[in-house]
Structure 1
Amino acid sequence: MERQTSLRDRLIDVGVDLVMTEGTSSLGLREIARRAEVSHGAPRRYFPTHHALLSAIAHRGLADLKDRFAAVTRGIPSARGQLETLGKSYIGYALECRGMFELLLRHDLLDSRRHTSDEPRLRELTLPLFGIIVELVARHREEEKGTRPLGTTRDMPPPAVAAGLLWSQLHGIAQLWAWGSLPLALGTAGTGGAESDVLHTLVAAATDTHLGPVNP
């Protein structure tokens, strides 16, 4: 017998569809209730604030991103290879799911101390996702230990700082590419989406910047 979707899940499903097709500006409780064909007050039984509903929708996006990361890195032995693949997947998600990408990391709106009653807490997913990058940076350094000249790793920032810088650069690449600014600046407008050779080159360069160049 097919399990019936709960009203809470149905409201989130409608919200996810809205943000994916029309962006974050469409995410109002009344519009979601209308599309779910329930009363305007029904969503508040599950989401006491607008922030709570947005957090639940963003939680779906983060769970999807986590699954994508796991899928694309499976079978890649080196930490460096996994990091570069994660970068390509992150940018691919940004271009494929523009509305969700704009929403899912807005902790200033969705998961701040001002909204302590809102559930689910997005940090329950975002912090572990960031932790994956930190762990891979640290593992890469262990894998590279002894293969670089003495002194070249002495001034490297802690893994968490390097991971934060790499994430920031990848996020900037994704956003500027989605806006069209970066393709215009590089003279590559119209050269393709997430599988563009130029994008792959940018991801590789960002990885080199924060991990060091590949050993010969």
Structure 2
Amino acid sequence: MRESEAGLRERLVDVGVELLASEGVGALTLREIARRAGVSHGAPRRHFPTHLELLSAIARRGFAELADRATSAVEGVDGPRAQLGALAREYLRFAVDRRGMYELMFRHDLLKSGHLGLRDTSLPLFGRLVELVGRVRPDLDARLAGGALWAALHGTGQLWGWGSLQLAVGTSDFDRMVDAVLAVHLGPEEA
């Protein structure tokens, strides 16, 4: 029985997600994805005319997963500061646990290309961060402060994943590091 075209498209993305998790961004070639999906090396081009389009579809899965994880992390958490802490922790856990996906998701060429609406997928999470920053620090331009916090979280995720930050600061206490990032950008937590 022949696989449906939509089914093959999804399978190619599934294989890409699995390959990314096991071997990293460098392994994501059309040829390797096709081989692992059990189709000819030209088959992916019927669904993804360019390599960027396939990478964008894989990254879109990452953004969906991150959004789900972020939503779950803040459910039942009271107060904007605590929600922001929960969101930041989940963002950093994703960055560390899903390093290849995280790297792919934030590739400038993918976001800039506009394939499959990646900006539409990534911006709502940033919007949630900005909204929470605005509630915690109404005295600041929430979009700028949220951008600065996001940049710090992104850098923290990269450095933590490489093991560099733990060496530099002398601790492997993930929660302490998240608290420090939040304190620098939002001020001390009120007692």
% of aligned pairs identical? 51
* In 2: Cα distance, 1:169 partner to 1:45 partner: 40
Q: CA deviation at 1:111?
A: 2.9
Q: CA deviation at 1:122?
A: 0.5
Q: Structure 1: which amino acid aligns with 2:132?
A: L
Q: CA deviation at 1:186?
A: 2.2
Aligned to 2:104: 103
Aligned to 1:172: 155
Q: Structure 2: which amino acid aligns with 1:204?
A: D
Aligned to 2:59: 58
Which residue of 112, 123, 132 maps to 2:128?
132
Counterpart check, 1:81 vs 2:77:
no
Counterpart check, 1:210 vs 2:177:
no
CA RMSD of aligned residues (A): 1.7
Higher helix share: 2
Q: 4+ residue runs of structure 1 moved beyond 4 angstroms?
A: none
* In 2: Cα distance, 1:51 partner to 1:207 partner: 34
Q: TM-score, normalised by structure 2?
A: 0.93
Aligned to 2:28: 27
Aligned to 2:164: 181
Q: Structure 2: which amino acid aligns with 1:215?
A: E
Q: CA deviation at 1:131?
A: 0.4
Q: Structure 1: which amino acid aligns with 2:35?
A: R
Which SS does the other structure have where 1:6 is aligned? helix
Q: CA deviation at 1:83?
A: 0.6
Q: Which sections of structure 2, spanning at least 5 residues, go unmatched?
A: none
Q: CA deviation at 1:104?
A: 0.6
* In 2: Cα distance, 1:210 partner to 1:63 partner: 26
Q: Which sections of structure 1, spanning at least 5 residues, go unmatched?
A: 143-152, 192-197
Counterpart check, 1:161 vs 2:136:
no
Cα-to-partner distance string for 1:121-176 (whole Å, 9 max, x where unaligned): 2001111110010111112235xxxxxxxxxx4xx3x1001101111111111111
Higher relative contact order (CA 8 A, sep 6+): 1
Cα-to-partner distance string for 1:90-131 (whole Å, 9 max, x where unaligned): 11111111110111111x22132xx45x3x120011111100
Q: CA deviation at 1:89?
A: 0.7
Counterpart check, 1:43 vs 2:44:
yes
* In 1: Cα distance, 2:90 partner to 2:157 partner: 10
* In 2: Cα distance, 1:140 partner to 1:111 partner: 29
Q: Structure 1: which amino acid aligns with 2:188?
A: P
Q: TM-score, normalised by structure 1?
A: 0.82
* Greater gyration radius: 1
* In 2: Cα distance, 1:98 partner to 1:53 partner: 18
